[in-house]
A and B are shown apart, each in its own frame.
Chain A
């Protein structure tokens, strides 16, 4: 089954790309690359808005910033790694997301791992959704706080757990220092959208802080692409910490945290990712700024609005067509992530190879599924399509 994963491509991750064909004698460890290329329809990259290849507005500006600032600053943000582009990027992201300030890191995974230990430590409680991403789990473990899991997307279970604040007080006479509830905008494995209004109202009632990870939802859902808050009508002031990544819709790299002015100032002073890690590459930062401008229509065209409308139409059309064909497709309406259930582990490589024969690329299984295989044979294997702009 090794040939179904880590397939290299030889062009940009656009709607159609060139996949490198590989020679593999069944059973051997090494897969050799050949020089043959195959043009395939791409349903497997996270290129939601189609910025993942040469773009007429973004790429020239990126190349310009590359020539001016070079590929890297070789320095952390506090030393000599802050350029005017970084400052502009943080202002742009904060405005786009609807918060006062933002801080940007060079890697989305690392953002969660760095920030959570700074915000909460021993004596605190983290309540996270059962299907949260590995970066959140890593960050939560690294913080030293107590962790509780609530059932996926069930606000009632969350409320039950929050009422345990009282129980803890009577038992040990030491109340929790603070409680942070971590949820995601779109869950990448199920394609479901989080029930944010209910969760925010519960957290307000019990005085817990809300941490929203919008890795997949920023730029992909909502009328202007502002994510799950816009889609579900939640006031961004109610969400204390908003996190997101740039590697999906904006086709760049890195992650951000947006919040109040004091929060970001505190993080800039204490977060080890800001103090020790190399700053985000300047051309990547420029790509994000340009992509946000296109989405908001500030480049003078309405390409952004067109892209957003098209991804919504494509997602809904594809989902309904697949359901009509008889496939079992998970995920909510408007969500660009579509898992198609195969249910049988042995069908995964067969499905993947058959798709390839038809020159269609999609993701099969999920890498965490490889770990689940022997442990939980009941886990349903999913074939996941992610829709991009065609």
Chain B
């Protein structure tokens, strides 16, 4: 596959872009990557490719644009079937889609509420995040990964969001490992994987980015 066929419009700290990068790495697909200047000025290609949301990630395959990261990961799995990211049985696939949807609806916003607020609002946001992680621990059960023995779809959807946890912990004054040890163990397991370790930004750098965002939002 020629490298020029697959292009990712990216922003380094976006966990949603990381999902796409990890999925492509797992499939061994070569691609080009173009960093977007989210604050300075989005590229014309981005605005044309994703006119509705105007966000990254956008994946262009043979010039055809796709947006929304979970949708893109689905596309990657269906276009390059090996190794499969979704499990084999229809029921297990439904469970995987359910958890991916749950993560999309809840996790990033709950984390955002922690660093964007203070006092009682922040305490409520922390409680919510921990409840979400406990639900995810329930979904994980005794398995190594959400799909079972192998790293797969839900793991890819979830793991990039954990790079922001260091920032949530600092601003919210709590510790994910203490509250949700099973989730923390799963996180470490995924971080040991090459596709994940090579893709994810350093949580310290994410913390600096979030600190900057807090200043921009006037939160101190």
A complexed with B: no
Chain B residues with a Cβ under 8 A of chain A? none
